[in-house]
Amino acid sequence: MQQDIVHESALDLTQEQIQRLIATSTGFIEAYVIPVYGDAPILLPQNMVLSAMNVPANVSEVEWHDKHLPTYIVHRPELHEVTALVIEGDDESTRFAILCDAMPDSMRLRISGVLDVERETPKFVYQYVKVDEQQYQIPHLSNIQKDLFQN
């Protein structure tokens, strides 16, 4: 029981970090724009990504530094090879990989130009935002991690 409490607080801290990086009111952030099949692209701070590698599509885990990381799949279903982005966690046990179409483009965002969009959010989306009239999603990392690590 004690271990579950520690694990949950680590997940919350990760979400807190991403919110702090994206939701501040001044300055710039370097972010990846990750296309999501059937939804708005993800905006993710570049410093959350530890590594990128080519992997087969639709795999449930990838190997990275002798660790097997669970995957969160956002790529187009017809692809055979995709890019796995290894996402930082508070420790090794909370790292996972996002499987996306290809290496995502990067964007330098003026934080004050990121506007919240009032829209219902699915379980794995923390918030939808708009930048220069384009809609994006901020991932709900703690929900993604909880889902991936309970399996």
Which CATH number does the domain housing residue 88 bear? 2.40.50.180
**How many angstroms separate the CA atoms of 14 and 39, rounded?**
23
**Which residues, 6+ apart, have CB-to-CB distance to 63 below 8 Å?**
69
Q: Domain of 116?
A: 2-150
Q: Which residue has the higher pLDDT, 15 or 44?
A: 44
Q: What is the pLDDT of residue 23?
A: 52
Helix (H), strand (E) at residue 87 = strand 81-87
**Which residues, 6+ apart, have CB-to-CB distance to 57 below 8 Å?**
75, 77, 79, 80, 81, 82, 99
Is a pLDDT exceeding 80 seen at residue 93? yes
Tokens linked to 133: 């009239």
Is a pLDDT exceeding 50 seen at residue 3? no
Is a pLDDT exceeding 80 seen at residue 131? yes
Q: Residue 127: name the closest of 21, 2, 10 by CA.
A: 21
| Average pLDDT, integer, range 126-135 | 94
pTM summary value: 0.81
Q: What is the pLDDT of residue 20?
A: 60
Q: Residue 21: name the closest of 143, 151, 126 by CA.
A: 126
Report the mean per-residue pLDDT for the chain.
86
Name the DSSP letter for residue 15: H
DSSP SS3 for 47: helix
Q: How many domains does the chain have?
A: 1
**How many angstroms separate the CA atoms of 29 and 104, rounded?**
15
